Structure 1
Amino acid sequence: MLAAYAARLSPQDPLSALEVGEQPEPAAREHWSTVDVRAASLNHHDLWSLRGVGLRAEQLPMILGTDAAGVTADGREVVLHGVIGATGHGVGPGERRSLPSEHYPGTLAERVAVPTWNLVPKPAELSFAEAACVPTAWLTAYTMLFTAGRAAPGTRVLVQGAGGGVSTAAVLLGAAAGLEVFVTSRDEAKRSRALELGAASAVEPGGRLPAKVDVVLETVGAATWGHSVRSLRPGGTLVVAGATSGDASPAELQRIFFLELTVAGVTMGSKEDLGALLNLLVRTGIRPIVDTELPLARAAEGFARLEAGAQFGKIVLTA
């Protein structure tokens, strides 16, 4: 079957480690299901995998991808919840949790196998491309805002870095929930798009905000960490779900303890939250923004756009 995979590891030039070609079909396993992938979305996790973060040379070749929507052998349209092993379903209670493409082959393929427990019904109202955007970026944004961040109508939220999947999801979800959302971006066009989606304010990275915020959603890391900490009101919450620019240093510990700030980490979210999020999209009419849709054979073009940070929304590959 056709797949996009890490053929080697390249910390400095991740795109050189990517290949698109034939890979073995998923192996049959008890309590697992094979899904015909109709759409899969790209995430920065895929670029980190190509750099060798979380992968070892002996695991190669490894099919990339954590997100997908598709059809099971019995004709059910499904979305994949991407955390494998969190409950023990399909792998046993002793196995640590992982995402597709870390321990088991990922979703950037014509077919993928996952524990049957990880399948969630795809609402008919969402296209396969839209549904494929939800399990990582949108679920992460949902969990950051409403579970870890405990945001409610009127909460002020700063989203670092407009344009990516998590940030566009956070703006749309936040606006729908009555939050006051501020965003940052180096790109004036992306700031304008964020305002069109419902952001209350958009500024350059490190720029002065209209007011201190209750919650910061941080996925950038070193480049924005100091600004994130300084933007919070006393007692505020900094929710971290990534570090695309590298680990933060210094950690601003004096400000964190003096202002009694909370720092919370998020990796995606629960299967139950994924179901609730899909229902929310159906009820509200909110839809993930698809920046680019490409056939799987042209995966390299999508990866190049992701690495360049040129996208606004999600990049989707269709099988």
Structure 2
Amino acid sequence: MLAALAVTTDPDDPLAGLRVADVDPPPVPEGWVQVTVRATALNHHDLWSLRGVGLPAERLPMVLGCDAAGVTADGREVVVHAVVNDPGFAGVDSTHDPRRSLLSERHPGTHAEVVRVPAANLVDKPAGLGFAEAACLPTAWLTAYRMLFTQSGLRPGDTVLVQGAGGGVATALVALGRQAGYRVWVTSRDEARGARAVQMGAHRAFAAGERLPERVDAVMETVGAATWSHSVNALRPGGTLVISGTTSGAEPSRAELTKIFFKPLRVVGSTMGTRDELEALLRLLETTGLRPVVDRTLPLADAAEGYAALAAGEVFGKVVFEP
């Protein structure tokens, strides 16, 4: 089968270890199902894997990719939930499993012609949702859904600030937040990307770090160190900061601890989402007609082009590969 793989890792030159090659399909363990991949999306997680984060050398080579939509052997059209729980985990919330992993960390990922997954990780794809659209949902859109609807405490009419504009999670936050009746503000270092976020539903766009006209009810934080102080300062007393990523680094110059306890603020960590939340997200898109922003769709054979664009920050929305 054709697959995009990490054959080496390099924190400074992640693309050096990327290969697109024919490999043998992985065996299907008992209780798992093989899915023929119709579309698979690219995430920053894949670049982090190529940097060696969460992917040690002893697991190489590894098929990359977390997200997929495809068809099982009996013709069932499915979306793959990427969180693989430890077999002994008995909790309700899969994100609370300390031994959980994502596809492409311990098990071969989705940037391939076929992928194997636990049977419980398959969710029916709505008929009205295309495979490329569905493939965008299990990581970035599910992360955004959980941040907004499970973790933030927001209500219709509240104001939410999305740090950054144009990435997969950011565009999902804008689209979902506008659909839910929030007033959505975004920040961006690039004026053009901020303008595009407004075109797709954000109410206002601001320069990165710009003083806002008023404080907001919640901040959705995926950037990390570069925007942390701005996020804390942007919140009204009692507001909520939901963090799900640190693409600019995990060590801000100021922790802002005094402001966090004195205002007082809620800081909530959030990662991915549960299978139930993925099903709810799919129902929401089916009901509303809301769809992910797809930056480009490429043949899997040209995966290196998509990876390079994401690494260069030249992507607005999601990159999708079609085997």
Q: How does the TM-score come out when normalised to structure 1?
A: 0.97
Of residues 173, 180, 188, the one that matches 1:170 is 173
Helix, strand or coil at the partner of 1:27: coil
Q: Residue 60 of structure 1 corresponds to which residue in structure 2?
A: 60
CA offset digits 1:2-58 (Å, max 9, x no partner): 100110010000011111102220212111000001101011000000000001111
The answer on whether the counterparts of 1:88 and 1:95 sit within 8 Å (CA) in structure 2 is: no
The letter of the residue matching 2:20 is V
Q: In 2 relative to 1, CA 231–95 (structure 1 residues): closer, same or farther, beyond 3 Å? A: closer
Quick one: distance in 2 between partners of 1:186 and 1:38?
A: 35
Kindly report which structure 2 residues correspond to 1:32-43, keeping only aligned pairs within 5 A, or say none: 32-43=32-43
- Residues 1:141 and 2:177 aligned together: no
Q: Residue 278 of structure 2 corresponds to which residue in structure 1?
A: 274
- Residues 1:283 and 2:287 aligned together: yes
- Residues 1:159 and 2:162 aligned together: yes
Of residues 107, 126, 130, the one that matches 1:127 is 130
Quick one: distance in 1 between partners of 2:98 and 2:294?
A: 34
Q: Residue 242 of structure 2 corresponds to which residue in structure 1?
A: 239
Helix, strand or coil at the partner of 1:19: strand
Q: Residue 49 of structure 1 corresponds to which residue in structure 2?
A: 49
Kindly report which structure 2 residues correspond to 1:207-222, keeping only aligned pairs within 5 A, or say none: 207-222=210-225
Helix, strand or coil at the partner of 1:162: coil
Q: What is the CA distance between 1:87 and its match in structure 2?
A: 7.0
Q: What is the CA distance between 1:248 and its match in structure 2?
A: 2.9
Quick one: distance in 2 between partners of 1:264 and 1:55?
A: 26
The answer on whether the counterparts of 1:146 and 1:152 sit within 8 Å (CA) in structure 2 is: no
Q: How does the TM-score come out when normalised to structure 2?
A: 0.95
Structure 1 gaps of 5+ residues are none
Q: What is the CA distance between 1:196 and its match in structure 2?
A: 1.2
- Residues 1:301 and 2:305 aligned together: yes
- Percentage identity across aligned positions? 62
Helix, strand or coil at the partner of 1:33: strand
Quick one: distance in 2 between partners of 1:100 and 1:123?
A: 22
Structure 2 gaps of 5+ residues are none
Quick one: distance in 2 between partners of 1:235 and 1:254?
A: 14
Of residues 95, 98, 108, the one that matches 1:105 is 108
Q: What is the CA distance between 1:315 and its match in structure 2?
A: 0.4
Helix, strand or coil at the partner of 1:288: coil
- Residues 1:71 and 2:71 aligned together: yes
Q: What is the CA distance between 1:211 and its match in structure 2?
A: 1.5
Quick one: distance in 2 between partners of 1:271 and 1:108?
A: 21
Helix, strand or coil at the partner of 1:136: helix
Helix, strand or coil at the partner of 1:184: strand
Q: What is the CA distance between 1:210 and its match in structure 2?
A: 2.6
The answer on whether the counterparts of 1:225 and 1:248 sit within 8 Å (CA) in structure 2 is: no
The letter of the residue matching 2:295 is D
The letter of the residue matching 2:27 is A
- Residues 1:82 and 2:82 aligned together: yes
Q: In 2 relative to 1, CA 115–21 (structure 1 residues): closer, same or farther, beyond 3 Å? A: same
Q: Residue 315 of structure 1 corresponds to which residue in structure 2?
A: 319
The letter of the residue matching 1:294 is L
Of residues 265, 268, 293, the one that matches 1:264 is 268
Helix, strand or coil at the partner of 2:225: coil
The letter of the residue matching 1:239 is V
Quick one: distance in 2 between partners of 1:183 and 1:86?
A: 37
The answer on whether the counterparts of 1:69 and 1:128 sit within 8 Å (CA) in structure 2 is: yes
Q: Residue 199 of structure 2 corresponds to which residue in structure 1?
A: 196
The letter of the residue matching 1:317 is F
Quick one: distance in 2 between partners of 1:27 and 1:151?
A: 44
CA offset digits 1:146-202 (Å, max 9, x no partner): 100022201110101100111111111111111011101111221111111121110
The letter of the residue matching 1:274 is L
CA offset digits 1:235-254 (Å, max 9, x no partner): 11111111111113232111
Q: What is the CA distance between 1:142 and its match in structure 2?
A: 0.6
The letter of the residue matching 2:271 is T
Helix, strand or coil at the partner of 2:39: strand
Q: What is the CA distance between 1:117 and its match in structure 2?
A: 0.1
Q: Residue 179 of structure 1 corresponds to which residue in structure 2?
A: 182
Q: Residue 28 of structure 1 corresponds to which residue in structure 2?
A: 28
Tell me which stretches of 4 or more aligned residues in structure 1 moved more than 6 Å.
none
Aligned length: 317
Q: In 2 relative to 1, CA 146–95 (structure 1 residues): closer, same or farther, beyond 3 Å? A: closer
The answer on whether the counterparts of 1:182 and 1:209 sit within 8 Å (CA) in structure 2 is: no
Q: In 2 relative to 1, CA 95–105 (structure 1 residues): closer, same or farther, beyond 3 Å? A: farther
Helix, strand or coil at the partner of 2:83: coil
